[in-house]
Chains A and B, each alone.
Chain A
């Protein structure tokens, strides 16, 4: 028996991207929610709740990019060239928010400026990611091994909508994280606002789920023919169950469950996306096998991933454990 290396790597990259989305998702979400919390005290708490972990969260983005370069170089080359503008926009936006973690504590006089930088960077980075997601689903024009589309192919009504949908989704993750990490008045305000956010997220999920099959017959056929319809029906049903649990948890003022249910909504939407696109890594027609690096490359890095990823997950989990519990305004080393 031989290993299907491209398949293994597609699953590993998919896992890395999912971990990126949910981990950086909640700390980007904190930035998206920043404008709704004006008090310095609240903002200090929000910032300190993610300060020890944001850097590790963003590393999953580098693994996604570096991993794609290593094991699916054709996809890396095509996608990043096709998404030139939103990629550059995302990278610059991540700079504005990343430096704010240190800068706002280093310069009291200009703190409002770095607060704006943090909120603006988080929002723009998310918007760019969501737009790329939509453009990715819609597909890339290429010829031979090179990108052959226009420079604004990524900008469509659908991709703008997925951009907004991701903003709402990250904001919901951020709200769940705040409920988990804060208490008192700040936490109560999040409890009261989160249900509205949850409604908006569910509406966005519904619209994207119906819009996607309309874009592409193959995707429609995958979901809406028998017997697939039956096999795949647990996905939307579980989304419904997670949504109900989320509203219940918010209503009953549960601490961890809102965040967990927001994670579940993300994981299920992501699974749905994977079902729609598999086995393409560059929609509409480059498969994971066509884009794969040779087995010498995929095998070499797989050894490292099998050994190192569990260790990475171990000490990342440890870091989260060290900083468990509620965050208070005077935390941090500053």
Chain B
């Protein structure tokens, strides 16, 4: 066995890779399931065909995404055991039942009603079909509830006792509603809704660029821009509260996010900088004085702890955390800007006839995915070197599997995921590029711009 490659690092890389690929799918399906339920409700309530057309259009995309979410998710449920055996053995009594409840209350619900939702339109009545859609949407939210509770417990463990090397539940209420869970849950569900809103908005924008008379494109673009305008600012507040909660429970993570090394009063907010772990400083720092303290302590001269307060082996890797956090916040601010611009254009009656705004919305299509991934990297790298915060180190958690075995499985995962899910994402883009049917007649000639279709699909494609 070689000492050059650390099997723990490989196991972390494998988990990070598989979970990052996985989270992209549920981040989209959580929002899309709710969107489908809203579309079907509007169709049943108002009887306008456009909602049914949109439902069918997006349910194809949902089916494809959900399938990939399922198969990449099954991997996660076994990876705790294959690569993190000692962690599974020690935390199973606490975390296992949370995942058990996720399977029982969420996965079965989604899977059981998904068939009826996708294939059952002609086999069951409208009411029952709507019920199936709502159950699938509820399942995605229940799933988010339990898995975020489990993740939050690893970040802010509570309600446990120790017995024979295992974490044993002492108070289930305290375990499930551990200190960071409510914030993380709200933050993630809003993130999923925003992710979906910006994908739907981008698809609407694409088809508006081709023809601003397309009724389906108008309706989906309008709905998406309402979501952006309403939810993006709420997310800012939720994110701020989540940050304050992190400051209370994981101050080292905040210090890494902010690139602060010295404990100081009236700390600045760094806009730019390159944290250097060896030199224990943030190079080329550009900051706004006092703003860091103001945001995090809500006081002009509030004290913030710096990374030097912790011994080097207990510090998270700041260069990553610092930048992924800025990426997430930057994207969030852009989302707010898009939402507000959409409101202004709507007020002026120009929402459907402003091509430059449609191009912006098109570019913002993947913004939710990037923000979700950046946020998760921030919180997961930021809680290192612990897997159960403050209690169990990541290095103590991994299975006794030799580096070559982990390296080969990692290589296989990368190969299979890139090929299979890469193809799946290509199919998704192709579905999104297909024009939603519209009853409203388009004017002769002119309005179509197929050039943008190839931009969206990432290059020329063949049917």
A99 on the B face (CB < 8 A): yes
Contact B93 A296 (CB under 8 A): yes
Q: B interface, how many residues as a size bin? A: 35 or more
A102 on the B face (CB < 8 A): yes
Contact A99 B96 (CB under 8 A): no
Q: How far is the CA of A294 from the CA of B423 in the complex (A)?
A: 45
Stretch at the interface among A228-236, A251-259, A263-271, A299-307: A299-307
A38 on the B face (CB < 8 A): no
Q: Would you list which residues of chain B between 84 and 136 have a CB under 8 Å from chain A?
A: 85-86, 88-97, 99-105, 107-116, 118-121, 123-124, 135
Classify the interface of chain A: helix, strand, loop or mixed. helix
Q: Would you list which residues of chain A between 291 and 334 have a CB under 8 Å from chain B?
A: 293-294, 296-297, 300-301, 304-305, 308-309, 312, 315-316, 318-319, 322-323, 331-333
Pick the contact of B94: A151, A297, A331 (CB < 8 A): A297
B169 on the A face (CB < 8 A): yes
Pick the contact of B112: A81, A91, A293, A319 (CB < 8 A): A319
Pick the contact of A106: B64, B88, B409, B416 (CB < 8 A): B64
Stretch at the interface among B71-79, B179-187, B267-275, B333-341: B71-79
Contact A95 B170 (CB under 8 A): no
B288 on the A face (CB < 8 A): no
Pick the contact of B104: A55, A63, A78, A98 (CB < 8 A): A63
Q: How far is the CA of A101 from the CA of B119 in the complex (A)?
A: 13
Q: How far is the CA of A309 from the CA of B91 in the complex (A)?
A: 24
Known: A95-B71, A96-B420. A66 touches B113 (CB 8 A): no
A137 on the B face (CB < 8 A): no
Q: Which residue of A lies closest to B90 (CB)?
A: A73
A56-78 toward B: CB 8 Å interface, digit per residue (1/0)?
A: 10110111011111111110111
Q: How far is the CA of A99 from the CA of B426 in the complex (A)?
A: 13
Stretch at the interface among B43-51, B222-230, B311-319, B398-406: B398-406
Residues of B within 8 Å of A315, CB to CB, are 108-109, 112-113, 135
Contact B116 A322 (CB under 8 A): yes
Contact A77 B92 (CB under 8 A): yes
Contact A300 B71 (CB under 8 A): no
B405-418 toward A: CB 8 Å interface, digit per residue (1/0)?
A: 10001001100110
Contact A65 B108 (CB under 8 A): no
Known: A77-B81, A146-B400, A304-B100. A103 touches B427 (CB 8 A): yes
Q: Which residue of B lies closest to A57 (CB)?
A: B111
A203 on the B face (CB < 8 A): no
Pick the contact of A59: B59, B60, B103, B409 (CB < 8 A): B103
Q: Would you list which residues of chain A between 67 and 118 have a CB under 8 Å from chain B?
A: 67-74, 76-81, 84-85, 87-88, 91-92, 94-96, 98-99, 101-103, 106-107
Residues of B within 8 Å of A206, CB to CB, are none
Pick the contact of B400: A79, A99, A147, A293 (CB < 8 A): A147
Residues of A within 8 Å of B402, CB to CB, are 151
B245 on the A face (CB < 8 A): no
Classify the interface of chain B: helix, strand, loop or mixed. helix
A210 on the B face (CB < 8 A): no
Contact B77 A99 (CB under 8 A): no
Contact B105 A304 (CB under 8 A): yes
Contact B67 A319 (CB under 8 A): no
B291 on the A face (CB < 8 A): no
Q: Which residue of A lies closest to B172 (CB)?
A: A300
A83 to chain B, nearest CB (A): 8
Known: A77-B86, A296-B170. A99 touches B115 (CB 8 A): no
B82 on the A face (CB < 8 A): yes
B247 on the A face (CB < 8 A): no
Q: Would you list which residues of chain A between 30 and 46 have a CB under 8 Å from chain B?
A: none
B431 on the A face (CB < 8 A): yes
A53 on the B face (CB < 8 A): yes
Contact A293 B74 (CB under 8 A): no
Contact B89 A300 (CB under 8 A): no
B166 on the A face (CB < 8 A): yes
Q: How far is the CA of A107 from the CA of B376 in the complex (A)?
A: 33
A299 to chain B, nearest CB (A): 9
Q: How far is the CA of A80 from the CA of B76 in the complex (A)?
A: 13
Q: How far is the CA of A87 from the CA of B91 in the complex (A)?
A: 21
B310 to chain A, nearest CB (A): 30
Among B71, B168, B401, max chain A CB count under 10 A is at: B71
Report the 3 A-B pairs with minimum CB-CB distance, sorted nearest first: A73-B92, A70-B96, A80-B81
Q: A66-B77, A296-B93 are in contact. List 14 more A-B contacts (CB 8 A).
A: A51-B119, A52-B119, A66-B103, A96-B416, A98-B67, A103-B424, A296-B170, A296-B172, A297-B93, A304-B97, A304-B100, A315-B135, A319-B113, A333-B121
Binding site for A on B (CB under 8 A): 59-60, 63-64, 67-68, 70-75, 77-78, 80-82, 85-86, 88-97, 99-105, 107-116, 118-121, 123-124, 135, 163, 165-166, 168-170, 172, 399-402, 405, 409, 412-413, 416-417, 420-421, 423-424, 427, 430-431
Pick 30 A–B contacts, CB within 8 A, sort by A. Answer: A55-B70, A63-B108, A65-B78, A65-B81, A70-B99, A71-B96, A73-B96, A73-B166, A76-B89, A76-B92, A76-B96, A77-B89, A84-B399, A87-B78, A88-B413, A96-B416, A99-B424, A147-B400, A293-B166, A294-B168, A296-B170, A297-B93, A308-B104, A308-B108, A309-B104, A316-B108, A322-B115, A322-B123, A333-B119, A333-B121
